[in-house]
Amino acid sequence: TVYKCYEAGASIAHVHTFYLIDHPEEWAKTVQLIRDKCDIIVQAGMSSIPAEGRTEMFEAKPDMMSIILNHHDEAFPSGDIYRIHTREELELYANKCRKYNVKPEFEIWHAGSIWNLNYLIKKNLLDKPYFLTLFFDWPGGTWSPATSQEFLARLAVIPPGCIYQVSVMSPEQPKLAALSIIHGGHVRTGTEDYPYVYKNVLAKHNAELVAKIRNLGKELDRDIADPSTARRILNIRSK
């Protein structure tokens, strides 16, 4: 699936599976298998796992790692997810990212997430550029609406030196994706975010969703970054 997404135009692969949750020792093998196929940026997901429980992920040395800047409160049909992430844990994450040369991808669910981002910046624990994912319409107690007003309000409070993408879990995804592209941002897409390629039409695979965003970018006169360009923009060296 990762290679198909790479061929479709993806520059970053957000990776996590239920298998890796149960077998964290397989992270290194998974990362290497991807790198053997292509130079896509490998981003380790599962930000709900506490920092001390992600040692195998760090040791696998992915290019990036997802880190939530607020608590987890998600509501899914399969069950609710609750996790408290303290600022002490966020400091631990920042130090580990520097130790293992992993670029943090910070999850921004509301304005309070930005407060914690600024907290880490003031402590000189982060290196520019800061990469953010702005979440909209994900169900639960950290929900925020997928509207242009919410998007622009979020942009108004992010600090200088940030690069951002949007993740939308609702039919509003194409609209917010276009808005992000127009404003110089980027887009995360896939079956985890919003699995429909068109209204009521499920995507056959992630690559189909990547191709849709690639085509949207072209329609809006934005060049699609290949992995090497994305590495330069994000200041990520190949491993």
Model pLDDT, residue 20: 85
Look-up of token digits 């930000």: 47
Of the ranges 40-44, 74-78, 184-188, 218-222, which one carries the lowest mean pLDDT score? 74-78
Q: For the chain, which residues make up each domain, given as ranges?
A: 2-234
- Whether the pLDDT of residue 23 is over 90: the answer is no
Model pLDDT, residue 214: 98
Digit-coded pLDDT (tens) for 82-100: 999 999 999 999 999 999 9
Q: What is the mean pLDDT of residues 68-85?
A: 94
Q: Please provide the average confidence, as pLDDT, over all residues in the chain.
A: 96
- Whether the pLDDT of residue 19 is over 90: the answer is no
Q: What is the mean pLDDT of residues 124-140?
A: 98
- Whether the pLDDT of residue 18 is over 90: the answer is no
* C-alpha span between 205 and 19 (Å, rounded): 19
Model pLDDT, residue 1: 87
- Whether the pLDDT of residue 238 is over 90: the answer is no
Residue 187: pLDDT band by 50, 70, 90 thresholds?
very high
Q: 2-234 domain in CATH 3.40.640.10?
A: no
β-pair type (12-15, 41-44): parallel
β-pair type (79-83, 72-76): antiparallel
Q: What is the mean pLDDT of residues 140-167?
A: 98
The three-state secondary structure class of 139 is coil
* C-alpha span between 16 and 13 (Å, rounded): 10
Model pLDDT, residue 21: 81
Q: Please name the residue ranges forming H helices in the chain.
A: 2-8, 18-22, 27-37, 55-59, 87-100, 111-122, 148-157, 173-182, 206-219, 227-234
- Whether the pLDDT of residue 137 is over 90: the answer is yes
Q: What is the mean pLDDT of residues 9-27?
A: 90
